[in-house]
Structure 1
Amino acid sequence: MARIGWIDEFKGFVLLLVCLYHVEQSFPQAQMGMLHLSALRMSAFFFISGMLFSTRRFPDFKSYLVHKTRVLLVPYILLSLLFLAIDPVLYNFDLFPKAPRMTVMNIKPEIATVWDYIYWNLAKIFVAGKSSIGSGPLWFVFTLYSVSLLFYGVQKVAGRISVRRRREIPACAGMTTGIIALAAIASLAGGWFLYVNHIRLPLGIERDLTVLFFFANGWLCKGALKDPRLGSATLTTGRGDDVRGKNILALVAATIVAFAAYAYIEVPDPNFSIMNNNLGKSLPVFLASSVFGIAGLVATFMFADKLPNIAPFRIIKGILRNISRNALVILAVHWYILLVMRLLFRDTFNKPGIAYLVIPVVAAVVIGAIPLFRCKLYRLLGKEKIRVRESLNIKD
């Protein structure tokens, strides 16, 4: 199936929200309301990643494992080590008190020397699966790698059970989706159990269980949401335009209802973190706010896909697609620049009004870094070399 534009735009928007949240987190005077979106950012990212899950190009698990290792695990390790090597704290340990605090599997380490700092950063990368301080957001790359492999197994097991049952009871068609849905619910229950009991496992297994719920549901929904006919006049005969208009109105209504429900249910929590599997005080609130938030975003971008392809919309969509294509670079570089600014210039920038200047500074550095990584350091990303113009392209 050809790439569907709104899915790339959806991913790009979610990643943009992540970057803005990190700006607000590093410089609290730049208030943009990002705390209120915590329940939907990463859950939405993993939901859309589940929609894109496919094994069509891979005849067996080994080939799928090799591919995911090349495009996810290896970049996670190499980029984590690269940004650890250029972490300013390594070269001026007096900056350490200003650096983000680190926790490794419920351990808050005592760090007295640079070597302690290096040791615990390596523990974050290879034991906790949370990347180094210098490239913190790359935890999602390792989690995506782990969850993709887990879901591969869930899907295969569900398929085999379904085939066996259909032989015994022919009426059991569609059992695969039911088994996967049950597995998703059990996985979320496991993640919640580990959270409420403050259990942290190696390689972030507890967050994998939580994330697998959203990933699996993305896969379960992809048949309907990726249908290119959705909202199209070709769904009808005779009254195509009228039905198309009704479908678009339905998307608008769904957007309004979903976001209204999200605003009503969502409870901002500064400690909420999918990375740390800190899911808030109530499972129903976490689940409902995530579901309504995802539904609102999906409806929004499906509606945006129907808008006229005129300059303002075309440019915005192109930027979001570029963010999606360059996610690894953007997430790693924007965080590193924020870290440097936090360590060296926090007192200068963290002031009312001035704090918002951090956004164009970070954006300028990131834009400069994209061609550097895509044209020179592309092997670190597990991608092919492309030209500068192509790396910054927003036209398709």
Structure 2
Amino acid sequence: METRCVVFLDEASLPDEKKMILKVLHPYLDECKVAFVAVANKAFDAANANRMVCIYRSLPSEKDQHILAYGCLGLQIDNQQQRVNDRLKKIIDGLCQGYRWLLSTQSILQIYHDRDFIYMLRQLRFELTTTTDEQETRVDGITPLSLLHALEENFNGISKEKFEELIQIFFEAVKKECPDFRLPSQRRNIPTILHQSMKLDSVRRRLYGRYKLIIDESEDESAVRLLAQSGVLDLDQNKTVVFRMSDFPDDVNNELRNVEILSTIKLCMETGKTILMINTGRIHGSLYDVFNQNFSIMATGDNRKIWSKVAIGPKTIDVIVHEDFQCIVHINRNEFKEIPAPFLSRFQKYSLSIQDFYQIRLAKLLIEEQRLMKKVEQKAQSFIEHVGQQYFYGLSSNTLYSCLLELIEKNDEEER
């Protein structure tokens, strides 16, 4: 029987077009000796597009979204043996409508994709309750609080004001179907969300627990230090390993150094440590399957092993992934626009600033101390505006809150 080799290139738009990396494909595409299928989130340039048949996938229809939503929630449409509660049907309709509204909203940064919606639905799947009798199975159970928590974990990464707008979009859409579906007043802060998300059990983590992308609003990696202070990160070397890569020319072109870092990451994956990656964009391509959680699972009896692929140098090797392995990628806000959309969709995204941590610490103070700190903040802001920010060397939007946060920390040390 005749066979042909088929090359499948996933997310083919990720290679840098300016470097013309895909040009090596031209002779293979021209000769047609090898079957080639590529999936990309944007059109190729003319040189590549003219050598292949291009099929454009349209945006999902309302029916497609409903099928997707029911599937992610573990439900079947029009199943006679599984009766979905009428209220739950309306909530699902509202969630699909809210997602469509979000995609068409220009005031919110367009960083969300179908994968974020899918993982939100997977998380909500754990909130469903099932009751069974002799004739049918009934399913219901998405509450306002569970929806809020799912949004906090899967549709974050923007400012508080914009996130509140995003929440309103979803809840207004659901409320249109269920008038009594009210938005809860309580909110979790980012460190709490991160801490709870990283403590998920293995079953939940496999279904909806993505790795984390920290968007640092400061320019000095303050978010890393603050995550350690808040208990989200344990910087004990036996539990967490921090990887930093420099931008010096000798380091940028040092392939040996890249291989050393990837080898250490491989060991962390096998032993179940948490890794924090700072300025590591040069090796992200080697960890494509890891970030994508494209795992192979081998089970023998009670033992289960998870495998993923890591590209080290010119070779791709299979690596065991421990159940407790966690990955946090740190980027600065000014790098955000340069990051490809497929990369963003792999992570739970969180925006962190010194002001966020200051507000968290402020809320834990006594009422009198809170009033005092607010007066200090107001006076300092007034003084800066009166003199002029340009006359303070190195003053940024984070400087004031960094000083106020240090003042609270010193006060805590004195009380001890």
Does TM, scored on the shorter chain, surpass 0.5? no
Higher helix share: 1
Q: TM-score range by the shorter chain?
A: under 0.3
Higher strand share: 2
Using CA pairs under 8 Å that are at least 6 residues apart, name the structure with larger relative contact order, 1 or 2.
1
**TM-score of the aligned structures, taking structure 2 as reference length:** 0.24
Greater gyration radius: 2
